[in-house]
């Protein structure tokens, strides 16, 4: 299936916005890991209505005037991944959750690692706020856009996070459950 995309400059770098028909399918990072999100063929369309609306709402978010997005989303993944991504949408602006809290909310407290894996495959970054998921210790953990972008987004939402040093990141596991 062919998908429309548009590049957007933002305070966290160039984002690639992707629409499938009239729904948002992805918000991807400049430093995107190959194959993290499978989308098929992408065709640039700087006038696609969903992409223009997504860019508008993201700009409002970055300027501090939007706390909640109102966009039609098209998540493509397994049933479990979609449950996790829906749980992300339930995390209010300015709040965080741990992987274990999400697993518990889904009714499966033993699925913490699976929740972490699904969170890492979230195709619609920022809109489905995977940046609001932190380690059980309160530490910033793996993020497709990088920990600096994660800290920026959380700070924008009122948290006081600093980017961890490379030494502390090496001591910390990829997902601090």
Residue pLDDT, tens place only, 69-126: 999 999 999 999 999 999 999 999 999 999 999 999 999 999 999 999 999 999 999 9
Note the pTM of the prediction, 2 decimals.
Answer: 0.87
**Tens of pLDDT, residues 12-54:** 999 999 999 999 999 999 988 878 888 888 999 999 999 999 9
What is the Cβ-side half-sphere exposure of residue 159, based on CA atoms within 13 angstroms? 23
Start-to-end C-alpha separation, the chain: 36
Q: What is the pLDDT of residue 38?
A: 84
User: Would you name the residues annotated as active-site residues?
Assistant: 130
Q: E strands of 21-96, at which residues?
A: 23-28, 41-44
The lowest-confidence range among 10-19, 64-73, 145-154 is 145-154
Q: What is the pLDDT of residue 101?
A: 94
Residue closest to 62 by CA, chosen among 155, 142, 139: 155
3-class DSSP state of 121 = coil
DSSP state of 139: -
Q: Return all residues near 154 (Cβ < 8 A) that are at least 6 apart.
A: 96, 131, 132, 140, 161
Distance CA 166, CA 102 (A): 27
The whole-angstrom distance between residue 72's C-alpha and the CA centroid of its chain comes to: 16
Q: What is the pLDDT of residue 176?
A: 44
């Amino acid at each position: 299936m062919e998908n429309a995309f548009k590049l957007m400059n933002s305070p966290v770098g160039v984002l690639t916005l992707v629409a499938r028909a009239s729904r948002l399918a992805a918000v991807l990072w400049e430093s995107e890991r190959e194959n993290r999100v499978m989308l098929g063929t992408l065709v640039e369309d700087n006038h696609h209505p969903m992409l223009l609306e997504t860019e508008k709402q993201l700009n409002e978010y970055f300027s501090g005037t939007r706390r909640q997005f109102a966009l039609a989303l098209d998540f493509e993944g397994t049933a479990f991944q979609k449950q996790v991504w829906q749980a992300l949408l339930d995390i209010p602006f300015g709040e965080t959750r741990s992987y274990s809290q999400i697993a518990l909310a889904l009714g499966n407290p033993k699925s913490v690692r699976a929740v972490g894996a699904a969170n890492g495959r979230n195709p619609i970054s920022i809109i489905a706020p995977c940046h609001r998921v932190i380690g059980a210790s309160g530490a910033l953990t793996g993020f497709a856009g990088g920990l600096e972008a994660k800290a920026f987004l959380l700070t924008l939402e009122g948290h006081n996070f600093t980017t961890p040093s490379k030494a502390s990141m090496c001591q910390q596991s990829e997902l601090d459950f």
